[in-house]
Amino acid sequence: MNIERQVEIFNKQAGKYYKRAKQKNMDFRLRSKLLQSATGNILELSVGAGMNFQFYPTLSRITAVDFSPKMLDQARIVAAEQGRQVDFRLGNVEEIALPEKNYDTVISSLSLCSYPHPDKVLTQMASWCKEDGKILLYEHGISTNSFVAWLQHKTNSFYMKRVGCHMNRDILKLVEESPLSIVKSEHYMLHTVHLIWAKPVT
Ligand SMILES: C[S@@+](CC[C@H](N)C(=O)[O-])C[C@H]1O[C@@H](n2cnc3c(N)ncnc32)[C@H](O)[C@@H]1O
């Protein structure tokens, strides 16, 4: 799928993401658990409607990237509601130029599923993060349960066309093969959902 089509798909979902940002469900609890580790100068990739801003320390410096103008519109509303100063960047995470070794915390939630080259993005994350910084990932992917995995493979192309994301990526393998070192990880919902606390390999 080309990038223009993917942007269209995410633009259409922006309102739905804004509503989700208000819900206190399992997704909220997982984000809260992971993102309480966020500190300092924060880089959030594929920010969507800004669902994570509420978990950052009040005075954080936040840079937020997304290629969907409509998602960024929603995220700007959320930032204003919370009194957050955010440097928003419209761009493709796979191509954007950001300063190296600059961020104390680099964050990605539910976005490694969407990139054509997630390995490239993980490499970039490691390069943008300070050597003593943190990389926090909340991602979904292929289950360790064979029936669920089969269903995920079967429905993958449908989900890609409808919501712009892959259901069957092996997130742990991708991270293990990247220049990130996993400090801690937790897994939920038959291993389809992962919280990962990592750092760049130095
Ligand atoms: C499933 S949503 C998750 C949004 C947000 N991170 C969250 O946790 O709610 C995926 C987001 O990634 C963005 N995205 C996908 N591929 C991208 C790319 N190559 N560059 C920039 N943003 C991208 C989409 O526009 C969308 O906002």
pLDDT number for residue 68: 97
CA of 79 to the centre of ligand 1 (A): 17
Cβ(17) – ligand 1 distance below 6 Å: yes
Pocket test for ligand 1, best of 18, 20, 67 (most atoms within 8 A of CB): 67
CA of 12 to the centre of ligand 1 (A): 12
CA dist 46 and 122 (Å) reads 13
Strand partners, 182: 198
pLDDT number for residue 22: 67
177 in helix, strand or coil?
coil
CATH number of the structural domain spanning residue 193: 3.40.50.150
Which residue's alpha carbon is at the smallest distance from atom 4 of ligand 1? 48
Q: Are 112 and 121 in contact (CB under 8 A)?
A: yes
pLDDT number for residue 18: 73
Beta pairing class for 129-140 and 103-109: parallel
Cβ-Cβ contacts under 8 Å for 197 (sequence gap 6 or more): 34, 37, 134, 135, 136, 182, 183, 184, 185
CA of 111 to the centre of ligand 1 (A): 5
Cβ(110) – ligand 1 distance below 6 Å: yes
Tens-binned pLDDT, residue by residue, of the chain (202 aa): 788 899 999 999 898 887 776 677 899 999 999 999 999 999 999 999 999 999 999 989 999 999 999 999 999 999 999 999 999 999 999 999 999 999 999 999 999 999 999 999 999 999 999 999 999 999 999 999 999 999 999 999 999 988 889 999 999 999 999 999 999 999 999 999 999 999 999 8
pLDDT number for residue 17: 81
CA of 38 to the centre of ligand 1 (A): 19
182 in helix, strand or coil?
strand
CA dist 122 and 185 (Å) reads 16
Count of domains forming the chain: 1
Closest ligand 1 atom, residue 96 Cα: 20
Continuous H helices in 82-170: 118-128, 146-163
CA of 145 to the centre of ligand 1 (A): 26
Which residue's alpha carbon is at the smallest distance from atom 5 of ligand 1? 48
Cβ(142) – ligand 1 distance below 6 Å: no
pLDDT number for residue 19: 73
What is the domain extent for residue 188? Answer: 3-200
